[in-house]
Structure 1
Amino acid sequence: MAWIRVLIPSLWIVAYYCATVKGWEREITSELNPGCPDILCNGTFRIAHIKAKGPNDTLHYVWDLTKKPSLLLALTTHNATVSFDWDCIGNGKECSMSFSEKPLYRFGIVFNKMWEFNDVNDTGIFDQTNKSNSYVRVLNTEHFSWNRTVFDQDSRSVSIGVKSEKYVNGNTVKNGTVKLLVKGFGYLDHSEMLPHLLHTPNTSQVDFVIDGLTTEPSFSNSRFALELVLVGSDQTASNIQIVEHQSLDDEHAPGVFTLVDVETPDSAGSAKGGYLQWRPVAYISSVRDVANSTDATIYSPQNVTNPVEDLKGTLVLSGFCSNDTGTETCLNATLVQATAVSFGLKEDGFYKKTKYMAWTFTMGYGKPPDEDFSLLVILVISIGLGLPALLIIVSGLVMLIRRVSRKKDDLFLGR
């Protein structure tokens, strides 16, 4: 029957979704300050090492707060180990790390700087070419005082949060809170928090929050922007690609139909590189909803003119450049580019309206995941297709039965 022909494919779709949505997983283990003697680290959080072991390989995430906040992702075999040189603490040396065998792939991000800019024309756009003191102030992230606030873990995920409540750089002093929360996942699902980004077993999620930060007194309409330095073991002849594309619907992030993918050449070309992904939305309240949203605007990636200086003091640098390799020579053979993201939308009231801004993105290996219809949407579609067909068939049968009954009655009366 027609309604059966409609319902059966829909039921097959539901069954296939239920069978594949879980998929494969990675086993998560994590450690703070791995191998650091108590006399050196003294309870201070400096480095976190997260291992995500999969069926065929292991992803290592190294979350570094020794200076600039940075996150290194390295894909290795199961046999590879990571070691850290802790002699750096207290003797002025830079901390370093090394792998027991060369990683199959490496990708890193460094939270290099924040900009506070005076958007006097209320465009919501950051002009990176304007270096005037009346327009912009640079906040180097190494001058924030970072402290750990969260460390939760189980076999499927781990969360590490840090915050700074003061920025001091010479005569520049700012009070207020800047927070970073990194969550590593070993399974496929959507984040519990808006904008409910899709994560895979190859993904970590980062939440960036500015809360009550002191603004420049001479700026009437302050907004903020963030610079991320991206480092990959890709071919340096290619550039990082930024692709904005439409998602299927706004089920997970109401009112936002766009996804932004930032891919290294190996990710874009062969799905074996690093990527960032987010929806172009930020939130101006801790209560995340459509009414409290604004734009997160991405800018074209640029070559880094002085990569040694920007990566100095981060484990991302030592993760790519070993001690026996000249740093400049190493970085010349490494993809190093920077991109900026600004937060704000025309007529949203600027940062001063709520003095709060939150932005979320994911970082991972492979190809950025594509949004798909959830089981709920599939069920709704199946029911939406099946019920009308069923009603048509039932109505047709009722009419046919009535017509046949009427003809029989006419024949009976005619006798």
Structure 2
Amino acid sequence: MTELDEDYTIGRVNLRDLPKVSLHDHLDGGLRPQTIIELADEAGVDVPESDAAALGDWFLTQCNAGNLVDYLTTFDLTTSVMQTADALERIAREFVLDLSADGVVYGEVRWAPEQHLARGLSLDQAVEAVQSGLEAGVTEVERQGRSMRVGQLVTAMRHADRGLEVAELAVRHRDRGVVGFDIAGAEAGFPPSRHRLAFDYLAQNHLPVTVHAGEADGLLSIESALFDGRALRLGHGVRLAEDVTIERADADSTYVTLGELAEWVKDREIALELSPSSNLQTGAIAAWGSELADHPFDLFYQLGFRVTVNVDNRTQSGTTLTRELSLLADAFTYDLADLETFQLNAASAAFLPLEEREDLADVISQGFEDAESYGA
């Protein structure tokens, strides 16, 4: 049985049927294991397992190291089979089909074109190949009677020196599938300020930005994402909880104080792209515990932050957005109204024009209403 065969329910409502928005979902973290095996054979790449189920288990084992650096090593395998236009098109098409099967109606797919040039592709050719695959996937979804929309988040690797070049790439393709920009990779030691010229260029060209920050580094990284990166969303942002002080006066009274940074993020409704399973795997929540119930997600939610739920990397975490919602519902006794709030938060934070975000919110609300009526 695969993860997509699992049933996750609240009452009589199957969570997979609920409309969802996916904001933090890496293309090179969402390959089907069978696809990796087939593409690796074509490219002459060695794989640790020749059976799809065993390869899926291998990813989970490798990614449970408890730190981001070891977690990222698994991408050496996935990116190695993503070096041709045909491979990128196939992977992007399957990615869309998997999103749709998960109930996603709007998804932003992030990936770093600079990591896919080993076999002669240019940056522009790589972006065009992925866009072709995404469009083919959407067409196939529509043939199946469903509707969805996807956009590319073009990403620069934070440890490299191609930030401005990749920012210019993103702007060139803004009317051909690209909706925003990101930086990713090892966070500690590579602050967003390293790519200040890229962020200046993006601001001048009015392309929205999300930045990985507050996953493997702390408050200074988040500050740099907001100041240097002008980030409208925080990729993970989980360590913003370090700027939240909780004091228990007695058994019945608890006082919570937000630092200036946390207050800024909350007041300006800067979305947190939280990824529960991934945050456990990388040790991002180690300061608060090692179980999902220790995740600051509920703290942020109760304090009024704009929290969103994401998978980060479907293959590395062996997960789906449906599963992440179910895990949170079990850990914090959330109901369908809570899950709808998370999707509306994501719709509001999507890199779409205002009117289209409002339409997306209507799709979410109607979908939840229909599901609840059907399950009543």
Same topology, TM > 0.5: no
TM-score between both structures, scaled by the size of structure 2: 0.28
When Rg is computed on C-alpha atoms for both structures, the one with the higher figure is 1
Higher share in helix? 2
Q: TM-score, normalised by structure 1?
A: 0.26
